[in-house]
Structure 1
Amino acid sequence: MPEQAPLLADLRAEPPEPVRAATLWAVLATGVLSMLLLGDGLAINLLIVAVPAALAAYFASRTAGRRPRPWSLTWAVGGLALLVVPALRDAGWPTFLAIVSSIALGSLALHGCRTWLGILLSPLGLFDALWKGIVWGWRGVRERAGSARGAGPAMRAAAVTAGLLLVFGALFASADAAFADLLGDLIPDTSLVGAPWRVLLLTVGAVGALAAAHTAASPLRWDRLAVKPGRARGRMEWALPLIVLNVLFAAFNGVQLAVLFGGYDAVLDKTGLSYAAYARQGFWQLLLATLLTLLVIVFALRWAPRDGAKDRALVRAVLGSLCALTLVVVASAVRRMDMYVEAYGLTRLRISVVAVELWLGVIILLIMAAGVWGARWLPRAVAVSAAAGVLAFGLLSPDAMIAERNVQRYEDTGKLDLDYARQLSADAVPALDKLPEPRRSCALKPIAESLGSERGPWYAMSLGESRARRIIEARPPSVDWGVCDEGRTGVPYP
């Protein structure tokens, strides 16, 4: 009978030990905080909920005999740090990137992966643990709830107390407006209307914490998946195409350097292109060239000759040269986008693709470093660079950067894409507030309407929204849409 495939047999660790009381209390705290805090939006509440979930995973891993390693602590701290972004920024897109990246880093902390496949597949382990975590936690609750010692009485008392407070608190809040106001100042909405939504949040928070704890106690061993190395090629067969590619890169970079030092005017006169058209024409091609170069490096390493020191030197020389030349391509792409932004202004798409291009440049630098000091650390270093990039992207506030750059462009040239400014989030309000009237009011009016007049609770309001509200309340937009529409259609503002 054939042996069972490693994917089915070797990935799973031993079943976890029975869940301990400390883990259950942390899971309960995660569920309760999710129910109370997550129903009004995402801000600092997400970080507050993540802390007991991380403690549940820590207690479970300690029970299983797993000791936190430096890399696991790095992933855990990084995952929690990424949740600072929703607390600071109102814009949804950096918040989404931060939350997804935080989940990815959390899965790395739970699994402790270090290979390419392990890092890529570790988030799947959380889905694998969802049902198992529920069963594991339910068994632990049953064992302790029926006991007369230890955590059993405390758990029963906490459950009964919480149930009585929720039921009667909701009834009294619905019956008396004054009591509802008093209760609303202390805790979130407890009305019967929102009860199903709160119960769902309680369930999601508890199940998520149980999945994280089960994964920490019994992770999938993704690092046991191995990719067989490719068949080594001969030196000529391997090196000739790459050397020719290096020559092509060198010729292109030579032209770029000549343009850089010779000025763009001569090139524009020769090509017949405008300043912006020249920049736009090249950026996307250079971005694609950078991506394809990374693929070429990956496959070249897979098929590289490996017979001795001479082969290693050849690989380092050829691929090192290709990486160095690619860095010039990255710099050229970023410069072209900067030219395009000077002509047409900064947008979310433009700042995003520049960020991606810069991150690809960081990856190329890491590959060059791996060629000198070894590649064992490379997968984790790439993951760190991605998480650090997402964190920096959120902390720098892209919407605020877009607004500041476009306001500066307006001051220099008198040009402003007012329609685009209206689409920005509350993070852009401090910069847009510097515009002269009526452009200021035309830009801020839709943002003010989207914020509304009622403030959300402190735990669901970002710092960006809080600042925007203060500015708008101090100087509300003072024009009607007719004036704004006139300016947009080209009629001068009064």
Structure 2
Amino acid sequence: MPAYAQRTQQSPAVWGHTVQQTPSVLVRFRPTEPGVIPAATLWSVLATALLSALLLGDGIGPNLLVVAVPAALAAYFAARATGRRLRPWTAVWAVGGLALLIVPALRDAGWPAFLAVVSAVALGSLALHGSRSWLGMFLGSVGLLTSVAGSLGWGAHGVRDRMAGSRGRWGVVFRSTAVAIVLVVVFGALFASADAAFADVLGSLIPDVSLGEGPWRLFLGAIGLVGALAAAYTAAAPVLWDKVTVRPGAARGRLEWALPLIVLNLLFAVFLAIQLTVLLGGYDKVMAGSGLSDQYAQYARQGFWQLLWATLLTLLVIALALRWAPRGGARDRTLVRSVLGTLCLLTLVVVASALRRMDLYVYAYGLTRLRISVAAVELWLGVVLVLIMAAGVFGAKMLPRAVAASAAVGVLAFGLVSPDGLIAEQNVQRYRDGHSIDIQYLRGLSADAVPALDTLPEPLRSCALDEIQRTLRNSDTPWYATSWGEARARDILGDWDPGARVRNCQGRGSGGEGSERGGDGGDSYDPYDPY
């Protein structure tokens, strides 16, 4: 048994506190202890902590990807030391997590960036745990939290043991590092004072850390250290969440199980037949430019949310139906596949109808953050239904992983398409087609919308870009926390000053009576969705 594992059972005292490496409730799910922490892992954890403290205090952008690299290396070195091999799905989750961190590096909008970062952490946790069941995938995505307490003791023991066994070498390392820092500081200061260009380059590369930011920087460094240690600890001794099982439900008889679902299928079929006829006719009238535009847009808006909930509830019904499905033989399997397959197919039509309703609504009122978000969710639910139908034909072994992968791909695609930029492009195009434009709403978008808003005629252009330009001017974000979207907006706007052109922006672009198709009460006013 490794020395560390022996110490874990004895619950030793570290820094005056008793350390319990593995919570007792997780012992049966974490069959092995991680052993001695490798030196490469310690250095990677230290690098993660330093980079977190230096780079993350000014916001997120490319710096988040930079910080993630040593954290991933810490986990890799820890897993290699225990003999764990890289498996295909581990590589998929790891690469997917790093790819998601590209979103905050590219997009200035905070909402898709936040969604991407949360998804990246979940994928990284899955890569470390290697789960495959439904419950295992869910618990594995948040499983890093269970490794925090144990990883602190693990890291503390590793540092103490290595320092006790090689005091002479650590002294050499510390002295060499101190001398190198002194030389860099002295000669760097001399060169900076001798050449202004070198000083500018040096100033842009080195983070500007003031004394007042000390507590905040220490907190970020601690977060980076704990996160990297938890990742390494999990990689060395993952919790086998797939061992957490749920008993299958009692199988029901064919009639008891199938009758409610067949009735539900009939209800779906009747509803779709009626409402598709109405929607198809309504869409033609909207496209024809008749006076019924608002009527059909409101009709579409009122039904979209109900159809979204219908899709979600259908997925719940499918999950419960599979839990209590008859399992007597081949005939039962055929019955389950035919009934649930029909329900999935009809629900796909519901998804298509909901997306058509949103298309009607966007045509009448324009695209917003709320509308593009719920449409993306509905589209993903349609993908999940297709995966369920495929699992009914090819087997459900890969279904949990496939659903998780589709969610990750959806979040990545959502960030890469630049939602704020897409919203601005769609609204600008509507304006060119003769509709009014909601300038007050567009002013609240991020810098990702600048390329599209820059094409508006004056004074609408100045009204739309004034708030964004003011934000850019007041921001002194360093290069490592600046997204590509913000950098592109700065290149487009430069030193532009809207000046007096923004004095009369209050009533512009929100209706049909003012100049430049501005005023109040026009077709961009939405009484149901103020967002």
C-alpha distance in 1, partners of 2:419/2:69? Answer: 27
Whether the 8 Å contact between 1:170 and 1:191 is mirrored in structure 2 is no
Is 2:218 aligned against 1:196? no
Aligned-pair identity in percent equals 62
Q: Which range moves more in the overlay, 121-130 or 473-482?
A: 473-482
1:257-313 deviation line (CA, Å, top 9, x unaligned) = 4346656568999x9981211211211111111011001100000000000000000
Amino acid corresponding to residue 78 of structure 1 in structure 2: G
Shift in Å, 1:414: 3.5
**1:385 paired residue number:** 406
**1:427 paired residue number:** 448
Alignment of 1:282-321 (within 5 A): 282-321=303-342
Alignment of 1:35-184 (within 5 A): 35-148=53-166, 152-153=170-171, 155-157=173-175, 160=178, 184=203
In structure 2, relative to structure 1, the CA distance for the partners of 1:232 and 1:16 (3 Å cut) is: same
Secondary structure at the aligned position of 1:14 is classed as coil
Is 2:61 aligned against 1:30? no
C-alpha distance in 2, partners of 1:129/1:6? Answer: 12
In structure 2, relative to structure 1, the CA distance for the partners of 1:6 and 1:254 (3 Å cut) is: farther
Shift in Å, 1:450: 1.4
In structure 2, relative to structure 1, the CA distance for the partners of 1:63 and 1:408 (3 Å cut) is: same
Alignment of 1:452-471 (within 5 A): 452-453=473-474, 455-471=476-492
C-alpha distance in 1, partners of 2:41/2:185? Answer: 26
Whether the 8 Å contact between 1:399 and 1:425 is mirrored in structure 2 is yes
C-alpha distance in 1, partners of 2:201/2:354? Answer: 58
- The TM-score, its normalising length taken from structure 1, stands at 0.91
In structure 2, relative to structure 1, the CA distance for the partners of 1:42 and 1:379 (3 Å cut) is: same
In structure 2, relative to structure 1, the CA distance for the partners of 1:281 and 1:198 (3 Å cut) is: closer
Q: Which range moves more in the overlay, 27-36 or 49-58?
A: 27-36
Secondary structure at the aligned position of 2:494 is classed as helix
C-alpha distance in 2, partners of 1:154/1:321? Answer: 72
**1:373 paired residue number:** 394
Is 2:251 aligned against 1:246? no
Q: Which range moves more in the overlay, 358-367 or 151-160?
A: 151-160
Give the alignment partner of residue 229 of structure 2, picking from 197, 210, 218.
210
Shift in Å, 1:191: 3.5
Whether the 8 Å contact between 2:387 and 2:399 is mirrored in structure 1 is yes
The structure, 1 or 2, with the larger RCO (C-alpha pairs under 8 Å, 6+ apart) is 1
Secondary structure at the aligned position of 1:485 is classed as coil
Q: Which range moves more in the overlay, 449-458 or 414-423?
A: 449-458
Whether the 8 Å contact between 1:47 and 1:80 is mirrored in structure 2 is yes
In structure 2, relative to structure 1, the CA distance for the partners of 1:380 and 1:161 (3 Å cut) is: farther
Whether the 8 Å contact between 1:145 and 1:156 is mirrored in structure 2 is no
Shift in Å, 1:164: 6.5
Whether the 8 Å contact between 1:366 and 1:378 is mirrored in structure 2 is yes
1:68-127 deviation line (CA, Å, top 9, x unaligned) = 110011000000000000000000000000000000000000111111111111244212
In structure 2, relative to structure 1, the CA distance for the partners of 1:89 and 1:169 (3 Å cut) is: farther
Shift in Å, 1:12: 1.9
Shift in Å, 1:487: 2.7
Whether the 8 Å contact between 1:24 and 1:56 is mirrored in structure 2 is yes
Unaligned runs of 5+ in 2: 1-22, 191-195, 519-531
Whether the 8 Å contact between 2:82 and 2:236 is mirrored in structure 1 is yes
Whether the 8 Å contact between 1:169 and 1:190 is mirrored in structure 2 is no
Amino acid corresponding to residue 195 of structure 1 in structure 2: G
Amino acid corresponding to residue 252 of structure 1 in structure 2: F
In structure 2, relative to structure 1, the CA distance for the partners of 1:263 and 1:456 (3 Å cut) is: closer
Whether the 8 Å contact between 1:438 and 1:479 is mirrored in structure 2 is no
Alignment of 1:215-226 (within 5 A): 215-226=234-245
C-alpha distance in 2, partners of 1:456/1:272? Answer: 45
In structure 2, relative to structure 1, the CA distance for the partners of 1:109 and 1:272 (3 Å cut) is: closer
In structure 2, relative to structure 1, the CA distance for the partners of 1:190 and 1:166 (3 Å cut) is: farther
In structure 2, relative to structure 1, the CA distance for the partners of 1:279 and 1:260 (3 Å cut) is: closer
C-alpha distance in 1, partners of 2:411/2:169? Answer: 41
Secondary structure at the aligned position of 1:483 is classed as coil
Amino acid corresponding to residue 16 of structure 1 in structure 2: P
Q: Which range moves more in the overlay, 234-243 or 480-489?
A: 480-489
In structure 2, relative to structure 1, the CA distance for the partners of 1:210 and 1:157 (3 Å cut) is: farther
**2:524 paired residue number:** none
Give the alignment partner of residue 345 of structure 1, picking from 357, 366, 386.
366
Shift in Å, 1:149: 7.7
C-alpha distance in 2, partners of 1:49/1:216? Answer: 18
Q: Which range moves more in the overlay, 435-444 or 245-254?
A: 245-254
Shift in Å, 1:7: 5.1
Shift in Å, 1:6: 10
Whether the 8 Å contact between 1:129 and 1:214 is mirrored in structure 2 is yes
Whether the 8 Å contact between 1:114 and 1:223 is mirrored in structure 2 is yes
C-alpha distance in 1, partners of 2:24/2:39? Answer: 34
Whether the 8 Å contact between 1:486 and 1:492 is mirrored in structure 2 is no
Shift in Å, 1:468: 0.7
- The TM-score, its normalising length taken from structure 2, stands at 0.85
**2:379 paired residue number:** 358
In structure 2, relative to structure 1, the CA distance for the partners of 1:426 and 1:264 (3 Å cut) is: closer
Shift in Å, 1:129: 1.6
Amino acid corresponding to residue 254 of structure 1 in structure 2: A
**1:447 paired residue number:** 468
RMSD: 3.2
Whether the 8 Å contact between 1:170 and 1:190 is mirrored in structure 2 is no
In structure 2, relative to structure 1, the CA distance for the partners of 1:78 and 1:339 (3 Å cut) is: same
Whether the 8 Å contact between 1:104 and 1:123 is mirrored in structure 2 is yes
C-alpha distance in 2, partners of 1:328/1:343? Answer: 23
Shift in Å, 1:225: 0.5
C-alpha distance in 1, partners of 2:152/2:465? Answer: 47
Shift in Å, 1:364: 0.3
C-alpha distance in 2, partners of 1:163/1:296? Answer: 63
1:132-167 deviation line (CA, Å, top 9, x unaligned) = 212211211122223338964565347656887999
Give the alignment partner of residue 492 of structure 1, picking from 515, 523, 527.
515
In structure 2, relative to structure 1, the CA distance for the partners of 1:327 and 1:6 (3 Å cut) is: farther
C-alpha distance in 1, partners of 2:303/2:285? Answer: 17
C-alpha distance in 1, partners of 2:286/2:266? Answer: 22
Q: Which range moves more in the overlay, 433-442 or 206-215?
A: 206-215
Q: Which range moves more in the overlay, 127-136 or 437-446?
A: 127-136
Shift in Å, 1:336: 0.3
Secondary structure at the aligned position of 1:16 is classed as coil
Amino acid corresponding to residue 243 of structure 1 in structure 2: I
Whether the 8 Å contact between 2:436 and 2:509 is mirrored in structure 1 is no
1:11-34 deviation line (CA, Å, top 9, x unaligned) = 123221111111111111111211
